[in-house]
Amino acid sequence: MRPALLACFLLFTAPAWSWNDAATTDRDRPLIEAMYTLGVNYVLGGRSPEIGFDCSGLVMHVFERAWGLLLPAGTQALSKVGRPVARVKELAPGDLVFYNTRNRPNSHVGIYLGDGRFVHAPSSGKHVRTDKLDATFWKKHFSEARRPAA
């Protein structure tokens, strides 16, 4: 089952499922945590589902819940985490994808889900959602990608 589909399935079967399930791997955990955040409101500086998320707060929350990994705040600090991914075609689920949305590289971040999609907290008045990497806006504004260590 594809990771994004697995995460959707788990959203509806969560009470019967645990991290010890043999069908999931450590690399799946951020994807599953990210799917739990879909629909949460965007809030500047937000770092929790109860309050809301901004883009870096979403990433921090997901990786802390999934791996216990305490990531730095802000997109610029996050852009130094892990190792670079050289090409978009080499992206793996759980990689961080960065965009130039404010006339500076790495001003926005999301989490790659696989199948050409990523999850992110887009901007004020919106909510956590998935988008396609190859959508015109995102393709035009792509900065780089990084692979955090599990």
Cα separation, 58 vs 70, in Å, equals 12
Q: At 101, which amino acid appears?
A: T
Q: Is residue 19 part of a domain?
A: no
Q: Is residue 30 part of a domain?
A: yes
108 tagged catalytic: yes
61 tagged catalytic: no
Total domain count, the chain: 1
DSSP 116: T
Cα separation, 51 vs 94, in Å, equals 23
Q: Is residue 18 part of a domain?
A: no
Torsions phi, psi for 24 (to 5 deg): -105, 155
Q: Is residue 20 part of a domain?
A: no
Its domain, for residue 105, covers 3-13+25-147
8 tagged catalytic: no
> Each residue of 85-123: pLDDT tens digit?
999 999 999 999 999 999 999 999 999 999 999 999 999
DSSP, residue by residue, 11-66: HHHGGG--TT-TT--GGGHHHHHHHHTTTPBB-TT-EETTTEE-HHHHHHHHHHHH
Whether pLDDT at 1 is above 90: no
> Each residue of 12-36: pLDDT tens digit?
444 433 444 545 678 899 999 999 9
* Reported pTM: 0.85
Cα separation, 102 vs 93, in Å, equals 25
**Catalytically annotated residue among 61, 120, 127, 141:** 120
Cα separation, 1 vs 89, in Å, equals 20
Q: State the CATH number of the domain containing residue 141.
A: 3.90.1720.10
Whether pLDDT at 145 is above 60: yes
Torsions phi, psi for 61 (to 5 deg): -60, -50
Q: What is the mean predicted confidence (pLDDT) over 62-83?
A: 97
Cα separation, 73 vs 59, in Å, equals 9
**Catalytically annotated residue among 55, 61, 127, 141:** 55
Q: What is the mean predicted confidence (pLDDT) over 131-146?
A: 98
Under a CB-based contact definition with an 8 Å cutoff, are residues 145 and 63 in contact?
A: no
